[in-house]
């Protein structure tokens, strides 16, 4: 797909539902007693993979598009699937479902697309095995496809080497079925949607600092879930609004959970004109409308505890840094190498080919802003966030930018290009 430099961006936009929260609403609804009604569910390929997996285990899920009804089968009600469960491109589906499957009384095989079959699963296999699960990588490479034989589980106290909500959630979900308390301690707090939502469903979950604990319960109870707009999708418009001169955008109903809102802090540190309006905190997940006005930005340093709160936004933050005065340093972000693509590599290559001054480091990158960008051919590597990032960078690049594999935005934001066009 081809993109060109654009004039100021103006108007209002509502981004689709949060991907992390949409996945969890289907998973927990499937394990609950009664019906879970989900509004603003993200109809992206990743979340549809989660629906397909739970349907494969006998859960009646009615996707009416404007809402999704999950008729839960109870905590011990899943059925052995007749086929391999296909998680598609979704790391969240693969890792979280593994925690649930670890405790079932049947064996399941999980697989996914070429990207999923390269992503590290040892990070969940290790703790789940310590709890008693039997997990085998069919290609003996620490990746999917994995065969998971459910077993009686024991609680553990797990010091996680990575700040990863997928790892934490897999362990907490297994902990729902364990014989005692299970805890996970992270180096830094990762997104806490599992803790918040499981608690809403009636689980016994507590958090203290960087530790999350769970005790088994007999039942979870279906809930009505209103999924907020995804800040990771809003990020593209936040950056576009800031870097394209003369822009003014209002992004409605965005989730601003403190474990996800690092991008707002970074933008503010860079001198962005961002205002939160209509802040609302009464539905389990805080939300706000975000008013963005084009701004003159300066470089910043991003590292440490803030990293997990903006991990998926780092590609578009790197693009934004090209338009900021001075140097932006991103560090402690080695996790970027094991996302849907190696996002350090792909960003450094892509931005460099557009004329930016970007240097790869061991755990991040250094961007020296201020150079004008020009169009280039960018391989998205079928990574949705890379495709969207370069569509935004192209708004400020002279000439033509071609993004290869641009259709991969269907993973998290099927209407992305149409929404971007509407603001021009």
Residues forming contacts to ligand S3P in the complex (CB under 6 A) are 20, 92, 164-166, 169, 190-191, 311-312, 335
Q: Quick one: 169 or 257, whose CB is closer to ligand S3P?
A: 169
Rounded CA separation 294/263 (Å): 16
Rounded CA separation 323/215 (Å): 48
Two structure tokens written together for 314: 């780092």
Q: Quick one: 228 or 375, whose CB is closer to ligand S3P?
A: 228
* Residue 86 a catalytic site member: no
Give the nearest distance from C-beta 190 to ligand S3P in angstroms: 5
Give the nearest distance from C-beta 63 to ligand S3P in angstroms: 20
Rounded CA separation 237/422 (Å): 12
Q: Quick one: 53 or 354, whose CB is closer to ligand S3P?
A: 53
Q: Which of 18, 312, 383, 419 is catalytic?
A: 312
Name the closest residue to ligand S3P (Cβ).
20
Q: Quick one: 151 or 233, whose CB is closer to ligand S3P?
A: 233
Give the nearest distance from C-beta 92 to ligand S3P in angstroms: 4
Phi-psi bin for 412: left (phi > 0), alpha (psi -120 to 50), beta? alpha
Geometric angle at alpha carbon 26, from 25 and 32, rounded to 5°: 85
Strand partners, 67: 39
Phi-psi bin for 418: left (phi > 0), alpha (psi -120 to 50), beta? alpha
Q: Quick one: 86 or 312, whose CB is closer to ligand S3P?
A: 312
Give the nearest distance from C-beta 202 to ligand S3P in angstroms: 21
Phi-psi bin for 332: left (phi > 0), alpha (psi -120 to 50), beta? left
Rounded CA separation 318/360 (Å): 11
Sequence-distant (6+) residues with CB within 8 A of 16 are 40, 42, 43, 44, 229, 230, 233, 412, 413, 414, 415
Neighbours of 156 (CB within 10 A): 20
Give the nearest distance from C-beta 115 to ligand S3P in angstroms: 12
Q: Quick one: 20 or 257, whose CB is closer to ligand S3P?
A: 20
- Strand 107-111 and strand 85-86: the pairing is parallel
Give the nearest distance from C-beta 149 to ligand S3P in angstroms: 24
Which residues are tagged catalytic? 312
């Amino acid at each position: 797909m081809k993109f060109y430099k654009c004039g100021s961006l103006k108007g209002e936009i509502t981004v689709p539902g949060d991907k992390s929260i949409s996945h969890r609403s289907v998973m927990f609804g499937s394990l609950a007693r009664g019906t879970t009604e989900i509004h603003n569910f993200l109809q992206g390929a990743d979340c549809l993979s989660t629906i397909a997996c739970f349907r494969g285990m006998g859960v009646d899920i009615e996707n009416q598009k404007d809402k999704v009804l999950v008729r839960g089968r109870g905590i011990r009600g899943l059925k052995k699937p007749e086929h391999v469960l296909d998680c598609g491109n979704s790391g969240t589906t693969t890792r979280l479902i593994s925690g649930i499957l670890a405790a079932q009384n049947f064996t399941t095989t999980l697989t996914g697309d070429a990207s999923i079959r390269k992503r590290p699963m040892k990070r969940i296999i290790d703790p789940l095995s310590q709890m008693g699960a039997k997990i085998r990588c069919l290609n003996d490479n620490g990746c999917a496809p994995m065969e998971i034989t459910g077993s009686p589980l024991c609680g553990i106290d797990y010091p996680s080497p990575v700040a990863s909500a997928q790892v934490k959630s897999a362990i907490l979900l297994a902990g729902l079925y364990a014989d005692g308390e299970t805890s996970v301690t992270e180096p830094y707090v990762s997104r806490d949607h599992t803790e918040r939502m499981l608690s809403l469903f009636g689980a016994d979950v507590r958090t203290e600092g960087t530790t999350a604990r769970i005790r088994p319960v007999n039942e979870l109870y279906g809930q009505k879930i209103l999924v907020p707009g995804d800040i990771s999708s809003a990020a593209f418009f936040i950056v576009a609004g800031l870097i394209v001169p003369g822009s003014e955008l209002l992004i409605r109903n965005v989730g601003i959970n403190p474990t996800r809102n690092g991008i707002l802090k970074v933008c503010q540190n860079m001198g962005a004109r961002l205002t939160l309006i209509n802040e609302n905190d009464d539905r389990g997940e805080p939300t706000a409308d975000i008013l963005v006005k084009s701004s003159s930005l300066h470089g910043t340093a991003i590292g440490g505890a803030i990293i997990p709160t903006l991990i998926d936004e780092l590609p578009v933050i790197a693009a934004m840094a090209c338009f900021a005065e001075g140097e932006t340093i991103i560090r402690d972000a080695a996790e970027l190498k094991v996302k849907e693509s190696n996002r350090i590599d792909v960003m450094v290559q892509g931005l460099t080919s557009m004329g930016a001054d970007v240097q790869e480091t061991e755990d991040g990158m250094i961007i020296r802003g201020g150079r004008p960008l020009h169009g280039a051919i960018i391989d998205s590597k079928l990574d949705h966030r890379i495709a969207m990032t370069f569509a935004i960078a192209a708004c400020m690049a002279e000439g033509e930018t071609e993004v290869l594999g641009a259709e991969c935005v269907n993973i998290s934001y099927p209407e992305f290009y149409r929404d971007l066009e509407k603001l021009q």
